[in-house]
């Protein structure tokens, strides 16, 4: 039985060219980029070239890209380093209730240190408004952290408008763009972003590599202490094969490719909804229903259909989807994102699934999946 993979918001398969680039680097470029010998200089060249490719993709300077182990480290660095280094200016932080745990857990820890965190509640589409941020903003606010696009429901927040709001305020602006980088057009200068987090494995790159964009005009101390790598901003020997693979993944997802993916993914979402409607399946979309969200994420509420049962049935039939964020998939707790959107007593918390598309999915796969899901739902409701 051939599996059809529709859980790309959790992770994506590495692109063939990414694997080729990494394989070549592992064999032919094993030097330490901090060494001054021939092998070190070769590694340094790959590091510099990769940094340039990635910086250009978000309109940043090369020097503003700091390689990390991934989105979690990038989020923690931006939040913890900003809070601890600027607490003399205030101890108030703004974020939202639908953030990834890599943002929420550091926020909770900071609260134990005496910081005050305002958690904004999204609307029923999962979106935070700029008016909410403005209302919560105080003179002692030192950081605003609002995710670019939500990993569970695909909601996209008004990042540019929030960035503009903060232009004349002391608060630094961080956004977790792990789910958006590689599909959305991001310009850190035009959107007035101070810190931006990413992870390569969400766009067909390797796991355990990401970057944190740090605005050159904003200064925070190193979060991981040790050597002088990454111009003293992130200690640890750089993982050259992974960084080269990340750069290759970014090259693949150029502007034309991102546009193509968005259009293709939106057609997938429309097809799924069309088939379910034709089959008489009762469902609703959790999150954006138009093309202004993350088009690779579709979260569906199927009333009366327990998600764990549906996921198991689909898995046995050869289809991989999820019930929400992979980082909490093993938890018995309901989705904090859906809880924030609909309340803790909403049936959507237990009767919703997440389908997420990748660059290799086809319309034939989507149709096959949807027809099988409709068949299972009918069986479960009879």
| 331 has pLDDT over 80 | no
Q: Which of 84, 275, 326, 327 is catalytic?
A: 327
The 8-class DSSP code of residue 124 comes to: T
Burial 339-359 (b: 16+ CB within 10 A, else e): bbbbeeebebbbbbbbbbbbb
Decide the pairing of beta strands 65-68 and 92-96.
unpaired
* Exposure of 14 in the CB half-sphere (CA atoms within 13 A): 20
Spatial CB neighbours of 231, under 8 Å, sequence gap ≥ 6: 63
| 329 has pLDDT over 70 | no
Spatial CB neighbours of 45, under 8 Å, sequence gap ≥ 6: none
- Determine the topology of domain 4-13+255-381 in CATH: 3.90.1150
Model pLDDT, residue 328: 55
What confidence category does residue 332 fall into, taking pLDDT thresholds of 50, 70 and 90?
A: low
**Residues β-bridged to residue 174:** 145, 195
Spatial CB neighbours of 219, under 8 Å, sequence gap ≥ 6: none
What confidence category does residue 291 fall into, taking pLDDT thresholds of 50, 70 and 90?
A: confident
- Average pLDDT of the chain to the nearest whole number: 96
Least Cα distance to 339 among 126, 193, 149, 38 occurs for 126
Whole-number Cα distances in Å, 130 to 134, 241, 356, 365:
6, 40, 27, 38
Average pLDDT over every residue of 332-342: 91
Average pLDDT over every residue of 110-135: 98
**Residues β-bridged to residue 149:** 156
Look up 327 and say whether it is catalytic: yes
pTM as predicted:
0.97
**Distance of alpha carbon 250 from alpha carbon 255, whole angstroms:** 10
**Distance of alpha carbon 225 from alpha carbon 136, whole angstroms:** 34
Average pLDDT over every residue of 172-195: 98
Model pLDDT, residue 325: 75
Sheet holding 352-356, edge to edge: 284-286, 297-301, 352-356
**Distance of alpha carbon 117 from alpha carbon 136, whole angstroms:** 10
- Determine the topology of domain 16-252 in CATH: 3.40.640
Average pLDDT over every residue of 246-270: 98
**Distance of alpha carbon 322 from alpha carbon 311, whole angstroms:** 7
Whole-number Cα distances in Å, 123 to 225, 303, 340, 342:
40, 21, 9, 9
Model pLDDT, residue 330: 54
The reply to whether domains 4-13+255-381 and 16-252 share a CATH topology is: no
What confidence category does residue 49 fall into, taking pLDDT thresholds of 50, 70 and 90?
A: very high
The 8-class DSSP code of residue 322 comes to: B
Residue 277 tokens, joined: 């409607």
Average pLDDT over every residue of 298-314: 97
**Distance of alpha carbon 324 from alpha carbon 337, whole angstroms:** 9
Helix (H) or strand (E) holding 298: strand 297-301
Domain residue extents for the chain = 4-13+255-381, 16-252
Burial 268-295 (b: 16+ CB within 10 A, else e): bbeebbebbeeeebebebbbbeeeebbb
């Amino acid at each position: 039985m051939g599996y059809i993979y529709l859980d790309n918001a959790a992770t994506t398969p590495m692109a063939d060219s990414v694997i080729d680039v990494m394989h070549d680097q592992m064999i032919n470029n094993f030097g330490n980029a901090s060494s001054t010998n021939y092998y070190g200089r070769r590694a340094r060249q790959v590091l510099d070239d990769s940094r340039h490719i990635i910086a250009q993709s978000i309109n940043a300077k090369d020097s503003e890209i700091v390689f990390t182990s991934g989105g979690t480290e990038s989020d923690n660095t931006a939040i913890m380093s900003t809070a601890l280094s600027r607490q003399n200016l205030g101890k108030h932080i703004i974020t939202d209730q639908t953030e990834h745990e890599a943002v929420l857990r550091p926020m909770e820890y900071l609260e134990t240190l005496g910081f005050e965190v305002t958690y904004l509640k999204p609307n029923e589409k999962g979106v935070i408004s700029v008016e909410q941020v403005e209302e919560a903003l105080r003179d002692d606010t030192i950081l605003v952290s609002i995710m670019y696009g939500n990993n569970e429901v695909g909601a996209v927040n008004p990042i540019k408008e929030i960035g503009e709001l903060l232009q004349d305020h002391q608060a630094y602006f961080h956004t977790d763009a792990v789910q958006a980088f590689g599909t959305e057009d991001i310009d850190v200068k035009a959107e007035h972003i101070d810190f931006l987090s990413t992870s390569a494995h969400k766009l067909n790159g390797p796991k355990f590599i990401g970057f944190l964009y740090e605005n050159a005009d904003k200064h925070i101390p190193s979060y991981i202490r040790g050597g002088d790598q990454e111009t003293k901003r992130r200690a640890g020997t750089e993982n050259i094969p992974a960084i080269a693979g990340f750069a290759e993944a970014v090259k693949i997802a150029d502007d034309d490719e991102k546009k193509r993916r968005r259009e293709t993914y939106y057609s997938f979402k429309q097809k799924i909804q069309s088939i379910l409607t034709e089959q008489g399946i009762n469902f609703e979309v959790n999150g954006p229903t138009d093309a202004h969200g993350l088009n690779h994420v579709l979260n569906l509420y199927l009333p009366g259909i327990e998600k764990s049962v549906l996921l198991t049935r689909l898995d046995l039939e050869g289809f991989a989807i999820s019930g929400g964020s992979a980082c909490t998939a093993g938890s018995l707790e309901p989705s904090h994102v859906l809880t924030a959107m609909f309340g803790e007593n909403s049936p959507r918390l237990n009767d919703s699934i997440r389908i997420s598309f990748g660059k290799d999915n086809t319309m034939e796969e989507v149709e096959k999946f949807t027809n099988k899901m409709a068949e299972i739902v009918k069986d479960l409701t009879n």
